[in-house]
Structure 1
């Protein structure tokens, strides 16, 4: 099992370079925050619209089919499963209530305009459960897939550069912006190393053809604890090697060594997307609010 190839969520697509890759990372970061914040306290129609926009962006961006199918399928199946379970669930718990006064002999049914949206045999989908299912399913897809699409089309260096540029006013308050962005970059670059170490240890255990049934639970747990300890040791070794390499290259003091990852330059398409972003929020305030 190749973990580095099977775990596709959160990876960066280097080739081919799509039009989403060419957008300024700061603009993409604002759009990411928009996709994450605009569904909050929005009506179900707006949340479904956000899901449709993300799918259309993926299909129109030129990302290879093999990539977006792996990226989107798992999250879409999860969101659909949650929507289905909530939609067929009851509106709430049936709580028995004992009235203080005696129950009259004849009780007339109270008029109500509440009707089930769909009913088949024992399965009933009410308006409230359908509304809650759409809300939760759309939020799950949006909150998981929007950052995935952002990471797929934005390199770690561009992400840290955008965060560093947007956080530059915090330097007046003596906040170590350079150290924070450098740490973030190292963390993003360290994730593939962690996956590689896990993959190597799993392959090492599989090549020994261990009979897990004969080991029993206690010995199996002890073996996995040894593997986990070895994983931690290997990660500390990798971290020490990275720190030594940085010291050799002069990364000793952020004031002494200025970190420049990439040059940020706003193009015409970035200004157009900025105007569309403002219009998007205006439309959200106008028609996207809760009913």
Structure 2
């Protein structure tokens, strides 16, 4: 099992370079925040449209199928599992519904009238109750213990689409944006916070190192799993206590290896003269807004306008 290929979440795709790679990282960050914020208090149709926009955006980038399958397949499978689990679960409304008035008092008029000879008052015949019933049904499907209601469908769409949008939009941003560009974009956008003496450069540098550290963590886990497999351990003979001790030793070794890697990175930065982010400035990325970036920002405004017009509840 190759963890670097089976778990490609958060890894940067260097080739092929798509049009999404060429966009300014600040513009892509604005679009990411748009996808993360517009589902709040939105109707189900807007949430489903966000899923469609993300799928269409992925197809237009011409990402290779193997990456597309690994990146999107796991997220879609997880979202579908959440959808069906929420759909079949109780909707939380356990109170039975009953009409406000008794059924016998629901008397409705029909076009025909009957003349009362004693009181000279027009008494109208009651109409059939089935003529006034609509096609609305709260319970959409019920078979045995399976019960699907309108609220359960709404909850399933809300939760599954929110998870898909949250995970996949962030993953697509990391897939098409280098860690250095993310760092430079955040550092540029958070410049006003320097007036409040917030260490913006230190924060974004820590974020860059953490993003760079993700492949190293996966590589260490992969090496340890392979080392355990090559020893052909008989887990049944070890039992629960012996197996727990083995995995605790593996976890301890993993922690030691990660600390060694972190110490090596710190030593490499010190050898290159890096003392602090304020004294050792590194130009990670040169910002140049192009015409495509301007069109993307215009699309953000149109997207938010559509959200307020059609996406509200």
Partner of 2:233: 210
Q: Distance in 2 between matches of 1:110 and 1:144?
A: 54
Q: Is the 8 A contact 2:11 2:215 kept in 1?
A: no
Task: Describe the shift of the 1:124–1:216 C-alpha distance in structure 2 as closer, same or farther (beyond 3 A).
Answer: closer
Task: Describe the shift of the 1:110–1:243 C-alpha distance in structure 2 as closer, same or farther (beyond 3 A).
Answer: farther
* TM-score relative to the length of structure 1: 0.90
1:1-291 aligned within 5 A:
1-92=1-92, 94=94, 108=103, 114-116=136-138, 118-119=140-141, 121-122=143-144, 123-290=146-313
Please state whether the residue corresponding to 2:148 is helix, strand or coil.
strand
Q: Deviations over 1:109-153 (max 9, x none)?
A: 898865046436444432222112111111111111110111111
- Listed as ranges, the gaps of 5+ residues in structure 1 are 97-106
Q: Distance in 2 between matches of 1:174 and 1:9?
A: 34
Please state whether the residue corresponding to 2:284 is helix, strand or coil.
coil
- Count, aligned residues: 280
Larger-Rg structure: 2
Q: Distance in 2 between matches of 1:161 and 1:212?
A: 49
Q: Is the 8 A contact 2:27 2:296 kept in 1?
A: yes
Q: Is the 8 A contact 1:116 1:124 kept in 2?
A: no
Shift of 1:57: 0.3
Q: Deviations over 1:202-242 (max 9, x none)?
A: 11111111111111111111111111111111111111111
Shift of 1:253: 2.4
* TM-score relative to the length of structure 2: 0.84
Task: Describe the shift of the 1:254–1:86 C-alpha distance in structure 2 as closer, same or farther (beyond 3 A).
Answer: closer
Please state whether the residue corresponding to 1:20 is helix, strand or coil.
helix
Task: Describe the shift of the 1:95–1:119 C-alpha distance in structure 2 as closer, same or farther (beyond 3 A).
Answer: closer
Q: Is the 8 A contact 1:35 1:50 kept in 2?
A: yes
Task: Describe the shift of the 1:108–1:90 C-alpha distance in structure 2 as closer, same or farther (beyond 3 A).
Answer: farther
Q: Is the 8 A contact 1:25 1:162 kept in 2?
A: yes
- Listed as ranges, the gaps of 5+ residues in structure 2 are 97-101, 107-132
Cα RMSD (Å): 2.0
Task: Describe the shift of the 1:109–1:213 C-alpha distance in structure 2 as closer, same or farther (beyond 3 A).
Answer: farther
Q: Distance in 2 between matches of 1:157 and 1:141?
A: 26
Task: Describe the shift of the 1:117–1:5 C-alpha distance in structure 2 as closer, same or farther (beyond 3 A).
Answer: same
Q: Distance in 1 between matches of 2:276 and 2:164?
A: 41
